[in-house]
């Protein structure tokens, strides 16, 4: 196993009715005027925005708001948010939504706490040295941004989707009420489950992981798979909602990667380019790519894929590790189909031309600076091959 650092400074407030604690939590973390940041309108339709405002008013916290964050959040709105917060004297950011809204808030937070163009931090030009405090109210179990060190923003100029990872942006607190996620369309619930699983799978597919981390990872993945299936049958199942919501945070706060030396992350980076170019839902994009990636890299470490097949998916061991591993890939794809997720790009609704495949591979290679993959290091040609297999 590798040495590791584990840092999770986020205070988690979990369960029914926790939104009403928003004002007190803002106060506790030193906020007096917040930006309520949200997406395309679900928070208005569900009445959540009014509940948040009432909780802030009750605690005497002033607020301004900025909606309009779209999935694959855009840089232009980040600039607007920075300007608004400067003008209004905002001292804490309160995203109410999913990964897109929280990531947009993180980018605003970087812009407020550092001089110069915030895109520089996503474009590898320089690193931020601070971020304005953030408290997240989570409405979808998926990206895990409420506890992660990551923010992913899309620059409309060139449709570049890029991440910036630092501990500064980890939220100070996160309110997680599983009931809030019951208004999600089934497709978004499933996308979230696919993303949660992939955050642990990215860390799991790696060499020399410690036994305890493997056990935590396998338990989390089994629980998410079971809850995802339950949610297809019964979207209002509170226990299942709670399981995936807590898993979304634990799957991306570093816990399931301790000692794993960073993880593989090829599927994420390959997907980010697809998301940037074709604006697809992140979780669905991951599901569409995973099977092709797995078959492509599996010969590098069949035993690891076989362990995943047996311990996570309940596959019967076959004559050799490769056969077991391949059964596992099939079982995972069956699971994706069962929850309504695509298993290739066509099912995702994307049919890239050969020129677009080469462009995706080139962008991914540049974004990862020639260093992608732990199970197998992927060259630009490998990336193009995986996109071709996923067509």
Please select the residue that binds ligand NZQ; options are 42, 206, 253, 368, rule is CB under 6 A.
Answer: 42
Q: Interface with ligand NZQ by CB under 6 A: which range of 6-14, 50-58, 182-190, 224-232?
A: 182-190
Question: From the CA atom positions of the chain, what is the Rg in Å?
Answer: 20
Element (H, E) at 201: helix 186-204
Min separation Cβ 47 and ligand NZQ, Å: 11
Q: Interface with ligand NZQ by CB under 6 A: which range of 9-17, 115-123, 146-154, 363-371?
A: 146-154
**Binding of ligand NZQ at residue 184 (CB under 6 A)?**
yes
Phi, psi for residue 175 in degrees, rounded to 5: -100, 125
Q: Which of Zn ion, ligand NZQ, none does 71 bind, CB closer than 5 to 8 A by kind? A: ligand NZQ
CA distance 391 to 389: 6
CA distance 258 to 203: 9
Report 101-140 residues binding ligand NZQ (CB under 6 A): 101, 103, 139-140
What are residue 95's DSSP bridge partners?
37
Min separation Cβ 324 and Zn ion, Å: 27
Report 45-84 residues binding ligand NZQ (CB under 6 A): 71-72
- 8-state DSSP, 315: P
The helix/strand count (H/E) of the chain reads as 15, 8
Min separation Cβ 245 and ligand NZQ, Å: 11
**Given the DSSP bridges, would you call strands 160-165 and 150-155 parallel, antiparallel or unpaired?**
antiparallel
Closer residue to Zn ion in complex, CB, 327/363: 363
DSSP code per residue over 230-272: HHHH-TT-HHHHHHHHHHHHHTTSSGGGTTSTT---HHHHHHH
Instruction: List residues binding Zn ion (CB under 5 A).
Output: 195
Instruction: Compute how many other C-beta atoms are within 10 angstroms of the C-beta atom of residue 3.
Output: 7
Q: Interface with ligand NZQ by CB under 6 A: which range of 11-19, 24-32, 97-105, 116-124?
A: 97-105
Helices 211-233, 238-250: inter-axial angle, 10-degree rounding: 140
Helix (H, G, I), strand (E, B) or coil at 195: helix
Min separation Cβ 268 and Zn ion, Å: 6
CA distance 108 to 118: 8
Please select the residue that binds ligand NZQ; options are 23, 95, 98, 254, rule is CB under 6 A.
Answer: 98
Cα angle, residue 189 at apex, residues 248 and 267 outer, rounded to 5°: 60
Min separation Cβ 43 and ligand NZQ, Å: 6
**Binding of ligand NZQ at residue 213 (CB under 6 A)?**
no
**Binding of ligand NZQ at residue 327 (CB under 6 A)?**
no
Chain-centroid distance, C-alpha 84: 26
**Binding of ligand NZQ at residue 189 (CB under 6 A)?**
no
Q: Interface with ligand NZQ by CB under 6 A: which range of 99-107, 235-243, 311-319, 334-342?
A: 99-107
Q: Interface with ligand NZQ by CB under 6 A: which range of 115-123, 142-150, 223-231, 350-358?
A: 142-150
Size of the chain in residues:
391
Closer residue to ligand NZQ in complex, CB, 203/252: 252
**Binding of ligand NZQ at residue 18 (CB under 6 A)?**
no
For residue 180, give Cα distances in angstroms to 36, 242, 352. 17, 10, 36
CA distance 345 to 342: 7
Min separation Cβ 351 and ligand NZQ, Å: 21
**Binding of ligand NZQ at residue 97 (CB under 6 A)?**
yes
Please select the residue that binds ligand NZQ; options are 23, 81, 95, 99, rule is CB under 6 A.
Answer: 99
User: Which residues sit at the interface with ligand NZQ, rule CB under 6 A?
Assistant: 39-43, 71-72, 97-101, 103, 139-140, 142-145, 148, 150-152, 180-181, 183-184, 188, 191-192, 195, 252, 268, 275, 282-283
């Amino acid at each position: 196993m590798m040495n590791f650092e584990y840092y999770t400074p986020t205070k988690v407030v979990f369960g029914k009715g926790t939104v009403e604690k928003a004002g007190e939590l803002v106060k506790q973390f030193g906020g007096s005027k917040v930006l309520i940041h949200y997406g395309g309108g679900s928070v208005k339709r569900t009445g959540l925005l009014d509940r948040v405002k009432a909780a802030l008013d009750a605690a005497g916290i002033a607020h301004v708001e900025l909606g309009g964050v779209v999935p694959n959040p855009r840089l232009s709105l980040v600039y607007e948010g920075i300007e608004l917060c400067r003008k209004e004297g905002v001292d804490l950011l309160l995203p109410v939504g999913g990964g897109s809204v929280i990531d947009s808030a993180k980018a605003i937070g970087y812009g407020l706490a550092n001089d110069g163009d915030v895109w520089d931090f996503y474009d590898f030009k320089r690193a931020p040295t601070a971020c304005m405090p953030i408290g997240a109210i989570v409405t979808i179990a998926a990206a895990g941004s409420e506890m992660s060190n990551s923010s992913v923003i899309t620059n409309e100029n060139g449709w570049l989707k890029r991440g910036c990872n630092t501990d500064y942006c980890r939220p100070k607190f996160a309110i997680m009420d599983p009931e809030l996620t019951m208004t999600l369309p089934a497709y978004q619930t499933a996308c979230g489950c696919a993303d949660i699983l992939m955050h642990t799978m990215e860390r799991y597919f790696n060499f020399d992981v410690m036994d305890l981390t493997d056990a935590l990872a396998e338990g989390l993945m089994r629980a998410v798979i079971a809850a995802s299936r339950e949610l297809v049958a019964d979207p209002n199942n509170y226990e299942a909602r709670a399981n995936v919501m807590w898993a979304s945070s634990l799957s991306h706060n570093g816990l399931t990667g301790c000692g794993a030396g960073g993880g593989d992350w090829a599927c994420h980076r390959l997907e980010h380019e697809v998301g940037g170019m074709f604006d697809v839902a992140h979780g669905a994009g991951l599901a569409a790519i995973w099977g092709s990636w797995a078959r492509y890299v599996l010969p590098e470490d069949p035993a690891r894929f076989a362990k995943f097949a047996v311990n996570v998916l309940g596959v019967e061991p076959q004559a050799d590790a490769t056969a077991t591993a391949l059964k596992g890939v099939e079982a995972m794809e069956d699971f994706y189909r069962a929850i309504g997720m695509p298993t290739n790009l066509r099912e995702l609704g994307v049919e890239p031309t050969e020129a677009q495949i080469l462009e995706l591979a080139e962008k991914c290679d540049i974004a990862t600076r020639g260093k992608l993959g732990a199970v197998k290091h992927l060259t630009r040609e490998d990336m193009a091959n995986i996109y071709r297999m996923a067509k």
